[in-house]
Amino acid sequence: MVKIGIIGGSGLDNPKLLKNAEEIKVNTPYGKPSSDLTCGKIEGVNVAILARHGKDHSIYPSKVNFRANIWALKEYGCTHILAATAVGSLQEEIAPGHLVFPDQFIDFTRKRESTFFDEDDVVHTPMAEPFCPMLRQLYEKSATSLGLAHHSSKTVITIEGPRFSTKAESHMFRSWNADVINMSTVPEVNLAREKKMHYATVAMSTDYDCWREGEESVTWEMILATMQQNADSVINLFLDVIPQIKDHDDVCVS
């Protein structure tokens, strides 16, 4: 049975959207997840929402307990994860407010726990295609039908944070053909793959990082303002995609 996990889906726990909502605590071998799960139904589909940075946004990127978060959603029975994330744009055509559906990532983190297989079992997980193709196709189809500016088949680079990039780093990432930059996709995506969960992210471009001459350097206030202006786009996209998932065969993690 399809059950959808949403990470970072602020606003979707609105009682008008989530039917029969309830809070569920999940204990994990890795400690507490970032938040309790807000569970209910959207268009008849079971959904569990987890706030990546806590419901009061009090957890900075490198302190997010990614293993506990993914474990909690898997323990609840989630088969798919729809993730939302704020990103800086590294390409001129990806303007603030645009949505991006990455198909590749570059891991530039340094100190995060990035696997469940760090003790007795040695498991080498294939990661050539890290994001679920079916979910990405549904994102693109829905964004087109909703008239949302979007970009597909892009590469996201995840940095450690919480600081933003230097100009030298930003230009280096551009030279690596990275398209957007954030602090949250890795190790979330690879942990989901280890747990054989279908995962794809909706990245919201909030700024041009610091590579673009004449552009104001990125600040948290700038990111927050753009996110608030465009949150409805992500919500509407998820609401359109969720009912479609149960009608699609998906073998990316079989």
**82 inside domain:** yes
Q: Is 207 a catalytic residue?
A: yes
Confirm whether 16 is domain-assigned.
yes
Instruction: For tokens 């939302």, name the residue.
Output: 84
Confirm whether 39 is domain-assigned: yes
Task: Provide the sign of the torsion angle of the four alpha carbons 76, 81, 84, 89, taken in this order.
Answer: positive
| Confidence band of 185 (pLDDT split at 50, 70, 90) | very high
Q: How many helices (H) and strands (E) does the chain have?
A: 5, 9
In-domain check, residue 253: no
Render pLDDT for 52-94 as a digit per residue (tens, 0 to 9).
999 888 899 999 999 999 999 999 999 999 999 999 999 999 9
Domain that holds residue 163: 3-245
Domain count, the chain: 1
Set 207, 240, 247, 250: catalytic member: 207
pLDDT, position 188: 98
Q: Is 240 a catalytic residue?
A: no
The predicted model gives 144-155 an average pLDDT of: 97
Q: Catalytic: which of 13, 36, 179, 209?
A: 209
Decide if 251 is inside a domain: no
Neighbours of 34 (CB within 10 A): 22
CATH number reported for the structural domain that contains residue 114 in this entry: 3.40.50.1580
Is 80 contained in some domain? Answer: yes
Q: What global pTM score does this model have?
A: 0.93
The DSSP letter of residue 151 is E
Tokens of 124: 């080498």
pLDDT confidence band for 213 (50 / 70 / 90): confident
Q: Comparing 189 with 58, which gets the higher pLDDT?
A: 189
183 lies in some domain: yes
Q: Please state, in angstroms and rounded to a whole number, the distance separating the CA atoms of residues 113 and 163.
A: 19
Q: Beta-strand (E) ranges in 183-249?
A: 198-207
pLDDT tens digits for range 98-141: 999 999 999 999 999 999 998 878 889 999 999 999 999 999 99
Position 82, amino acid: L
- Domain assignment present for residue 254? The answer is no
